[in-house]
Structure 1
């Protein structure tokens, strides 16, 4: 069975870990399971001459068991001596600290990219070290970056708006810079079209999943796949599960409510992107409206506070 997960970083990583664990608990019907994660790259940026890919790295480290569970990002057992030195030289960013082990990954990636190797091949090479049990594909090999146009007329890279300002500076719009000329990375559209099931992870619907869908051809592949497309709400009880997704949703005029996000994706039978939508039990009152819109919605526990709960959510998504 071929399962494709369209995802951003931390929330998607937790879900994929749960999916792997769930599928490994019993016999797998029809042969070996294949999990492909199609990962957002619009959070990426150049910093101090290095290409940084936060979402790809978060998933790689999490599936490798090398991530920092307490912070939720980066490598376990990190030191930050190099970042401190860069700041001392006036070249670093105190609001965006990179660990020394993490820098090893960024140096390796940048070296390979500068040799002319496409990002998708670089990701495969880096992941081969860890034996992840899943295939990671960047949504595109092109450089696509989210820039935030603020209401006071400034344009910020998404990372500065998100990490430095914690999304407190009102945004007028998001620009997925480079997406107009980007094409899906090799294997991305094919993986979606040939999948047995496709899952939209509980990632930010605007700057994670939304940035993936902004790349020409990916949304169309979702509409054309014969697989059932199931989405998982990143909103529980009117609040973002992680980060500041509510600020992103407000910018595009979507309420920070589980039902509203499902309607934003829309039913495939009406030209949208999803067949089914999972919301938390606290949001069960949204089920009738979603079902009237042609979305097979159901309410299940969504919190992934440990691996057991992540496994249960994965089981619920596969049932949907």
Structure 2
């Protein structure tokens, strides 16, 4: 009787310890789940970074690994406690069955915790892969930046070479321009020499004509030498004078080098009096141009190349005498010859 009471008293003493151990185990699992959920939340929130996120991720991995290690240690400790409790439970069959049920529940919870731990490990592995992919992308971007820097350096080198070539080309162009200007100046000097020779010959040929003057670089003929009043047909006396000019010009053209672009310009001028009547010409401009063209066409018949002749009409707009007397008007009616270049 006393022995049975003692056994019942001893069984009642085991039960509070078992309940405390089981409560501690459940609280540990709940704490671990809370820690795991909190860690998963912060892990998902901070995963978006790159270099800084990698540092935080590595720290979290280390922390979770430590937590996992602690959980496994606690699970082993709980399993050892359960084993000890199982070994010590031998009071009654009813207590054993209840303890067995509690043990099965505990094992189920432990299995669930192990499954969640495995899920967490899978998530950690996925995070590691994502982190590695981010590192790979960063390395690829660094390589692309390095390639762009090399291309930029190559472009800068090419630009420097191009600028150097441009400077050299500019120097050559400047030198070519200087030489061209020098050559043109020499051609102008040569043309001036031939112009002086031509004028000298014309002075000798036309020395007896008082109505022919030299004004600057031009020979000035009164229109009456070649044309009748308001007419553009060359008269016989005018043709004789043009024959002399054509002969002198032909002799000179044999001496002028072919590369000198000389021309004989024939300018027609009238006085300021308007043309009256219903004749061929409506304005003085028409009359002056027609007279210059008539002289050019006649010189062509005498063998002067057409490409060496220019005809221009100025009407009454380039007078050499501003007066309105008969003499002033006569001086303004004129044909001018000028040896020049194109």
Which band: TM-score by shorter chain? under 0.3
Higher helix share: 2
State which structure, 1 or 2, has the greater radius of gyration over its C-alpha atoms.
2
TM-score by length of 2: 0.22
Higher strand share: 1
- Name the structure, 1 or 2, with higher relative contact order (CA <8 Å, separation 6+): 1
